[in-house]
Chain A
Amino acid sequence: MSESEKPVSLQSYVRLCAVVFLVVVCTTSAMIATSFSHIGDGWTLKVTLILAIAVVNAFLVAGYLMHLLSEKKLIYTVLAFTVFFFIGLVGLTLWATNGFPPGTASH
Chain B
Amino acid sequence: MEIPYTVQNRPDTGIYNAKLGIWLFLASEVMLFGGLFSAYILLRVGAEPGMWPHGWLNVTLGTINTLLLALSAITTLLAWAACKVRDFTKFKVFHACTILLALTFLGIKSYEYHDKLIHYEIALFNGKFADGHLVEKSVDFDLVKKTGTVTLHGHIVEDRKELMDLRSPEALSAQHEGITIAAADIKKMENYGPKHNTFTAIYFTLTGLHALHILGGTLVIFYFWAFGGAMWKTDPERFTNRIEVSGLFWHFVDLVWIFLFPVLYLT
Which chain A residues have a beta carbon within 8 Å of chain B's beta carbons? 2, 4, 8-10, 13-14, 17, 20-21, 24-25, 28, 31-32, 34-36, 43, 46-47, 50-51, 53-54, 57-58, 61-62, 65-66, 72-75, 78-79, 81-82, 85-86, 89-90, 93-94, 97
Q: Is the CB of B77 within 8 A of A17?
A: yes
Residues of chain B with a CB closer than 8 A to A94's CB = 38, 41-42
**Neighbouring B residues of A79 by C-beta, 8 Å:** 23, 27
| A34 CA to B35 CA, complexed, in Å | 27
Residues of B at under 8 Å CB distance from A? Answer: 13-15, 19-20, 23-24, 27, 30-31, 34-35, 37-38, 41-42, 45-46, 54, 59, 63, 66-67, 70-71, 73-74, 76-78, 80-82, 84-85, 87, 90, 167, 244, 248, 251-252, 254-255, 258-259, 261-263, 266-267
Inter-subunit contact A66/B42 (CB<8 Å): no
| Cβ of A102 to closest chain B Cβ, rounded Å | 19
Given contacts A47-B267, A86-B31, 11 further A-B contacts (CB under 8 A): A13-B78, A14-B78, A24-B70, A54-B258, A58-B259, A66-B252, A79-B23, A86-B30, A89-B38, A90-B38, A97-B42
B90 neighbours in A (Cβ, 8 Å): 10
Secondary structure at the A interface, as helix, strand, loop or mixed, is helix
One of A24, A32, A86 near B266 (C-beta < 8 A): A32
In angstroms, Cα B13 to Cα A73, docked, is: 9
- A93 contacts across to B, CB distance below 8 A: 38, 41-42
Q: Which residue of A lies closest to B77 (CB)?
A: A65
Total inter-chain residue pairs, C-beta < 8 Å: 125
Given known A24-B70, A54-B258, A65-B74, contact A31–B266 (CB-CB < 8 A): yes
B59 adjacent to A43 (CB under 8 Å): no
Taken together as a complex, chains A and B put the C-alpha atoms of A58 and B54 apart, in Å, by 24
Chain B residues whose CB sits within 8 angstroms of the CB of A8 once the complex forms: 81, 84-85
Give the CA-CA distance A89 to B20 in the complex, in Å.
Answer: 23
- Chain B residue nearest in CB terms to A53: B262
**A66 with B248: CB separation less than 8 A:** yes
Q: A47-B267, A65-B77, A66-B248 are in contact. Are A74 and B13 (CB under 8 A)?
A: yes
Cross-chain contact A74 with B81 (CB below 8 angstroms): no
Among A21, A51, A61, A74, the one with the most B-chain Cβ atoms within 10 Å of its Cβ is: A61
Contact between B251 and A85, CB atoms less than 8 A apart? no
Interface pair A50/B31, CB less than 8 Å apart: no
- 27 CB contacts below 8 A, A to B, read A8-B85, A10-B85, A13-B81, A14-B78, A17-B78, A20-B74, A28-B66, A31-B261, A31-B266, A35-B262, A53-B262, A57-B258, A61-B70, A61-B73, A61-B255, A66-B248, A66-B252, A74-B14, A75-B15, A75-B19, A75-B20, A78-B24, A89-B34, A90-B34, A90-B41, A93-B38, A97-B46
